[in-house]
Amino acid sequence: MQKDKILVIGASGQIGVELTLGLRKIYGNANVVASDLREENDLLKGTGPYVSLDVMNKEMLHVQVIRQNITQIYLLAAILSATGEKNPGLAWHLNMQGLLNVMDIAREEKLQKVYWPSSIAVFGPTSPKKNCPQQTIIEPITVYGISKYAGEFWCNYFHRRFGVDVRSLRYPGLISYKSAPGGGTTDYAIEIFHEALEEKKYQCFLNEDTYLPMMYMADAIRATIELMEAPADKITVRTSYNLSGMSFSPKDIAAEIKKHIPEFTVTYKSDYRQAIADSWPQSIDDSVSRKDWGWKEEYDLAAMTKDMLDNLRKQ
């Protein structure tokens, strides 16, 4: 059997850096090729191979897949919810064409597996707010959400029609300290830590009682790898799995940070991202992930807050 050789596309981004490092620990540094449109992230330098790659350039992508003997692709290149609303055409183009390029090559080259993340952004105002189930009314209102929902059905299509083993998670908002977030509505929950440590105050762009599904990056990386390593016959969802870690509001996270930095204060001034956040569920029912491939989160709000502050202080 061919040895695993992984290509991570979008490796210099918020998830890409940590996922690449996580995959390199398991598969060996040389067997995980990092790639991105932008320059190699400093944290990746010296840890394994890096190629400059535009996922929109299908020929070049195809050449790299053949040249590097790639057997699996993790596609992370995308435009997220807040940035997407500023340039809907570009967000649709990248998020759709990037996926279709990868899926075509996966089919032609008979790749073993593909990973592509979806998002809680597929859900819209008509979806249930609390414990939003795997299958429900899904009417997204952002271009990002529309592109993710369409992408889920392309994944399902390529699996059913061509047998591509593509797997996907609907990530909640992800919180991390290693690499900066890329323009999402949930980015406040990262900014707040930096401002708490540096300025002791933060102006939040969401209202204090805006509850959203969230997850610590360590859990998200583990979920991704566990899903990808699960036997194929355990995977019953070929669109994208709901995934849950925790749910909190800006007021909750501010109160948790104050336990560590008592002088920290937060003010609230919502902007266009409030409407995006209000359209998403407050919490997610991920019982299908738990049943199919044994998902269980480790971090709650208190554990995540402590770990974030400890690590940011070290930085």
Catalytically active residues are 144
Range 128-131 contact pairs with CB under 8 angstroms and sequence separation of 24 or more: 128/281, 129/281, 129/282, 129/283, 130/281, 130/282, 130/283, 131/283, 131/284, 131/285
Q: Which of 186, 210, 239, 289 is close enough to bind ligand SER by CB under 6 A?
A: 186
Can residue 119 be called a binding residue for ligand SER (CB under 6 A)? yes
Q: Which of 12, 35, 64, 81 is close enough to bind ligand SER by CB under 6 A?
A: 81
Six-digit token pair at 308?
A: 């974030």
Q: Which of 14, 72, 239, 247 is close enough to bind ligand NAD by CB under 6 A?
A: 14
Can residue 173 be called a binding residue for ligand NAD (CB under 6 A)? yes
The DSSP line for 65-78 is: HHHTT--EEEE---
CB under 6 A: which stretch of 76-84, 155-163, 192-200, 221-229 binds ligand NAD? Answer: 76-84
Compute the 3-state secondary structure of the chain and give helix, strand, coil in percent, each to the nearest 5: 45, 15, 40
Using DSSP bridges, classify how beta strands 72-75 and 265-268 pair: parallel, antiparallel or unpaired: unpaired
Can residue 60 be called a binding residue for ligand NAD (CB under 6 A)? no
Can residue 250 be called a binding residue for ligand NAD (CB under 6 A)? no
Q: Which of 43, 51, 56, 138 is close enough to bind ligand NAD by CB under 6 A?
A: 56
Can residue 184 be called a binding residue for ligand SER (CB under 6 A)? yes
Judged by beta carbon, residue 74 or residue 144, the one nearer ligand SER is 144
Compute the least distance from the CB of residue 191 to ligand NAD, in Å: 13
How far is residue 260 CA from its own chain's centroid? 28
Using DSSP's 3-state secondary structure scheme, residue 255 falls into helix
Using DSSP bridges, classify how beta strands 201-204 and 265-268 pair: parallel, antiparallel or unpaired: parallel
Can residue 174 be called a binding residue for ligand NAD (CB under 6 A)? yes
Can residue 243 be called a binding residue for ligand SER (CB under 6 A)? no
Query: What residues make contact with ligand SER under the rule CB under 6 A?
Result: 80-81, 119-121, 144, 173, 184-186
